[in-house]
Amino acid sequence: MRSLRLILTNPRYFGPAWVFASLNILFGTWAIYIPSVKEDLGINKATLGIAIFFLSLGVFTIFPIASKIINKIGVGRATFVGLILSCIAALFPLLAPGFLSLATALFLFGATNGFTDISMNTLVTEIEKEDRQKFMSASHGFFSLGGVLAGLGSFLIPVLDNRGLHMLFAVLLVLTVNFMFYRRYHKVVAAPIEKEGFSFRNFKPLMLIGLVSFVIMGSEGAIVDWSGLFLKEVSLAPVALWGAGFLGFQVFMTLGRFLGDAISSRIGSVRIVALGSFIAIVGYLLVLTTEMYLSITGFALTGLGFSVIVPELFRIGGNVKGVESSQGVAFIAGTGYSGFLVGPVILGFIAEQFSLSLSFISLMICSVAVLVATLLLKRKQPDKG
């Protein structure tokens, strides 16, 4: 919790952390309106999955060129510019009149979000190096906190009855706070990164870690995208509770990320991945009861389980013997984004061809596979915490 206190008491650290929160406020506000967008456009689950695919495709497309842009204009400025572009792009998906315009809007939203995501993580990394302070995990906690704020905003749905206006309020909140703090970080410049190759022998341990990253990040994206629809169509929740699953997921994701470093230091990285997977499995079992309140509780537990897995995968990947830490982290990021790219599409087709419940059964099986994979990972990688 020391890093959280650092953020809350020093504007130099609060500014970048609020960018993390801002990104999820924008994305979360889009996510809670997914059921109504599907209904108003008259599209089925498979078509919605394809539209969401374009959001992830936008993220994945910007990934190879983002670092060049960031190094050219400076990581601080890149973060602020990316945030402005994300705010503009966030307005269009909820105003799209048809599938093609929705897919295009989501592609732009994904590309701007992806650029901001890479910029803000690089920004925190550079500030950590400059100041010799660690606040990356707590910054990711602020990302989850942004999702909590977006989830709380779901209670405004019946009040505003206008999703475009709702997103405009979210954008104004994000911009107002960022304009107050961006001068604290906009001059930060990233140090040049020296790239080095690595052998296939050293690369092999990363394959399993990358596979776990693919599964977990794909599952996270699927829950964000489909939890509202599950509560609406399977649990038959009233409109005011469609965003409750997303809210519970984000609240417990936030809690886990603020507490995860302390737990990890006690039990180690691999064990905390296993623990997180087990908690997620319990969460899925509650979701699959389909009883409204148990399902909402299940989404919350799944968020708690997932909260520390990806940060720990980055930690493990950055400490693989014989592999530069930057190369290991880049590989984990690439496989994780790939999960975001194909996960929602696969789940959408399963939901359309079979049922939404079967989609979540598939996600639970993936968590079981991750739990099994940790046993293999334990043999390949010493648990250094």
Query: DSSP secondary structure string, 115-162?
Result: HHHHHHHHHHHHHHHHHT---HHHHHHHHHHHHHHHHHGGGGHHHH--
Q: For residue 199, what are its two tokens? A: 């052998």
* Confidence check: pLDDT of 170 > 90: yes
- Residue linked to tokens 């990890």: 264
> What class, spelled out in words, does domain 1-190 have in CATH?
mainly alpha
What is the pLDDT, as a whole number, of residue 215? 86
What is the pLDDT, as a whole number, of residue 322? 66
Can 1-190 and 200-385 be said to share one CATH topology? yes
In angstroms, what CA-CA distances link 243 with 33, 223, 323? 8, 11, 42
* Confidence check: pLDDT of 337 > 90: no
pLDDT digit string (tens) for 35-58?
Answer: 888 888 888 877 887 888 888 788
Are 62 and 115 contacting, i.e. CB atoms less than 8 angstroms apart? yes
* Confidence check: pLDDT of 198 > 50: no
- Torsion sign over Cα 164, 166, 168, 174: negative
* Confidence check: pLDDT of 9 > 80: yes
Q: Does residue 357 or residue 322 have the better pLDDT?
A: 357
User: Residue 232 and residue 37: Cα distance in Å, rounded?
Assistant: 13
Q: Which helix (DSSP H) or strand (DSSP E) does residue 178 occupy? A: helix 163-181
User: Residue 23 and residue 334: Cα distance in Å, rounded?
Assistant: 19
Q: Domain ranges for the chain, please list them.
A: 1-190, 200-385
Average pLDDT, whole number, for the chain?
83
pLDDT digit string (tens) for 83-114?
Answer: 999 999 999 999 999 999 999 999 999 999 98
Low-confidence winner among 283-292, 301-310, 344-353, 367-376 (lowest mean pLDDT): 344-353
Helix axis angle, 325-353 relative to 45-73, nearest 10°?
A: 160
CATH topology of domain 200-385: Growth Hormone; Chain: A; (1.20.1250)
User: Residue 34 and residue 40: Cα distance in Å, rounded?
Assistant: 10
Q: For residue 84, what are its two tokens? A: 């402005």
